[in-house]
Amino acid sequence: MPGFKSNLVSLHEDVINDTSDLNEMKISDEKGSVEKRTMTLIEKNGYHDSVYMNAAKIFQGIHTEKSKDKILVRYGDGSVTPMVTFKDEYSQRVSYGLAFNALKYQDLLEEMLLDSCVYPCHSIPEELTSLLVVMLYDLQDRKFRPRGVFDEEEPVPEVRKIECYLYRFKTKLAAALARCRIKHDALSIENLLPEAIREQQQRTSALPLYVWINTFKISLEDVFGDLKNKGFTRVQSVSDFDCYTYCMDQHCPDVLVFPSSVKEELLNLDLFADCKLLLQDKSRSLAVHSAQALLNTGDDIIVAHVGSPLTIAHMSALTIRNTSNIFVCGVKSSAKADELGNLFSHMECKNIRLLHEDFTEIGSTDPRLENVRVILLLPQCSGLGVGNPIDFIVNEHGDAGFLRDFFRGSVSEDKLNVLAERQLNELMHAMKFNKVQAIVYCTCSLYPEENELVVKKALESEVLEENKVQPYRLIPPIFSTCSNSVASTEIFFKIEPSEVCSGCFLAVLEREKESPENMSDEDILARAAAKGLLDGTLAEKSKKKKKKQPKVTQRRRNIAGAEFLHHQTLSNIKAELSVSKAVSNIQLRSMNGTNCRVELKKSLHPLSDAALPGAPKYTVQDRQTLARKARTERKRMETKTVDIVFPSAVAPHTPHGNSPKTSSQHCCHAAKAAGGRMFPPPKVVKPAVPRAVGDRMFPLPKVVKPAVPSHPRPWM
């Protein structure tokens, strides 16, 4: 026993005195640069009184409730969620951090209070137990040293009372902590956590920092130059990280990746202070780039939720060249609108429009959204795939209950069903906008109920409704035309949480494309301009023409369709005549019964309209049938080498080079097209005398495949 007590005393002294003085570490870069940095390890001095009060309120709502027979520490009535008000983002971040740490170490902190006989205390009501636990965690985190003095804020009596009480029993509390560590053979309190929580903390601490470039304020080349002047070295990938290094993201060309070890120094750079670089989770950048890749020039986009203002600003930076407007839903109060307006103004975003209605409250025919073609849907989700829960809550305005779910690693079935139903309703509402051509759906969830199942149910519901517009289909996401990523072949894009990236789910729904004949000239020019196929002058003209062009009436569309059908029929007849002449010419070379192999290419001398009288006499119904079948066949017919086989027969020689008169009953050929099927030649009425063919190549006719001939085939 004496030896055991001496061990306790020595360990207790280690706990009290285990604080490091202010240190300076000199770190040089890989090239041995003369310039060296000084990284200061700042001693923890505690927080303002308001931070402790806010953290206690948060912990009151998320602490682990135990069964009645195991309750030893009581937290009062938690039925009413107290209101939490934060002075700034820093106080919000540290308040949630304190509450989350108190949740993780709740069992340890309660054991310390009971073992040291500090709890229960009649002078401290149950309603202040949450404050007691939160401040106890901070006290042991400071190695039981007194808190720094903060004179700039008005003191909170409850905080000062709990602080004095704990500091009076600091020796007993330190001894209780030492006994607990000896009992569990733990070198630190982190070793007292479950293995799953420890692995989760390791992933969070090692997670790289993803930063996107605000191209409103700075170019990519200027960022590279500034970082080089600061001593940062660019490497190829995350695996090459070594202290002051960074690399380009493989999916998003305007996103840089930094090691987590340089976070504090990175955030102190002028690039961050001036909003030239913005720190945000990669999943949001993936969603933004996927939506931007679907936009044409002049197309608008809806962001269905306010979420993080950084996501909206990133979308603005990517779409400014497309002259697109971004409509943000759910900005309820004027105070929130002013806050967002000031932020976007500071970031120089100019194409953002705020809407006070929720997304599901906006009608699909709202005139403000007439030019919207893409919807970015980032619904509220369980969020268990995120790497840093505190950043997620602060940036996405999540509720404190997410910390409890994240700590447990699961979500209750009831909550999951509520989330999935809400997500399905929002996605189905997005599909009601008839002019919208694509929807990007993104979550940070790991549950199929919030991901694949929601998308599949929405698509099934669309089929049941039988809308007159083109239906949606799933396509692989396209993040950027200049991205270094390999093209994805998976319909759903999923990333599992790891030490390199947070987890996310991404799906892109796009309307099936209309046939070219149903598209207006303005739409075709707009798409070409958006893809960079037109020069600046033509792109500007197409844009102006699209704006000035009035709506086309249904009658004009019918006339245009009839004209297209007429031209298509003429083209089919020309193609048939070209093939007929080709067959007749090839017959001259096949008199000896040899087989010919001809690769079909575009005709050098297409027939004019004057040559049409020699064509077969088609009725109007025949021409319309041929045109419809030709359009269907053109979608699936591939250009292939054609094998033309002739029978072993010698035709009589005729003078003056005229071709022999061969009827379709004595001369048959077979064209091997797609699928290896055999087709007869088109009917020809006295074709014109062809010139010598030689090795001339012929185009594949855009004609429908006739039925297999019923006449005998002597060569078979």
Q: Which residue among the candidates 349, 442, 444, 501 is catalytic per the annotation? A: 444
Judge contact between 319 and 374, C-beta under 8 A. Answer: no
Q: Which two tokens stand for residue 433?
A: 């906008």
Sign of CA dihedral 317, 320, 326, 328: positive
Backbone angles phi, psi at 373, to 5 degrees: -125, -15
> Does residue 297 sit in helix, strand or coil?
coil
Please name the amino acid found at residue 713. Answer: R
CA–CA dist 226, 690 (Å, integer): 72
Is residue 398 packed enough to be buried (19+ CB in 10 Å), middle (13-18) or exposed (0-12)? buried
Q: Packing angle between helix 106-115 and helix 170-184, nearest 10 degrees?
A: 120
Q: Which two tokens stand for residue 573?
A: 């007849």
| β-pair partners for 37 | 27
Residue among 294, 281, 291 at smallest CA distance from 255: 281
Residue 254 labeled ligand binder: no
Judge contact between 322 and 530, C-beta under 8 A. Answer: yes
Output helix, strand, coil percentages for the chain, rounded to the nearest 5: 45, 10, 45
Question: Among this protein's residues, is 247 annotated catalytic?
Answer: no
CA–CA dist 65, 51 (Å, integer): 23
Residue with tokens 């447990």: 408
Please name the amino acid found at residue 308. Answer: S
What is residue 553's DSSP assignment? P
What is residue 711's DSSP assignment? S
Q: Which two tokens stand for residue 252?
A: 């998003």
Residue among 323, 312, 309, 322 at smallest CA distance from 288: 312
Judge contact between 349 and 313, C-beta under 8 A. Answer: yes
The residue count of the chain comes to: 716
CA–CA dist 425, 457 (Å, integer): 10
Q: Give the 3-state DSSP-derived string for 311-364, with helices as H, strands as E and coil as C.
A: HHHHHHHHHHHHCCCEEECCCCCHHHHHHHHHHHHHCCCCCEEECCCCHHHCCC
> Does residue 482 sit in helix, strand or coil?
coil
How is 365-410 classified by DSSP, letter by letter?
A: T-GGGTTEEEEEE------TT-S-HHHHHHHHT--THHHHHHHHT-
Q: Which two tokens stand for residue 691?
A: 């010139």
Q: Packing angle between helix 129-141 and helix 49-62, nearest 10 degrees?
A: 120
Relative to beta strand 300-303, strand 372-377 is parallel
> Does residue 160 sit in helix, strand or coil?
helix
**651-672 as b/e, with b when 16 or more CB fall inside 10 Å?**
eeeeeeeebeeeeeeebbbbbe
> Does residue 258 sit in helix, strand or coil?
strand
Sheet architecture: strand order including 245-248: 233-234, 245-248, 255-258, 209-213, 277-279
H or E element, residue 134: helix 129-141
CA–CA dist 492, 188 (Å, integer): 42
How is 642-681 classified by DSSP, letter by letter?
A: EEE---S--PPP-GGGPPP---TTT----EE-GGG-EEPP
User: Binding-site residues for S-adenosyl-L-methionine, please?
Assistant: 358
State the catalytic residues: 444
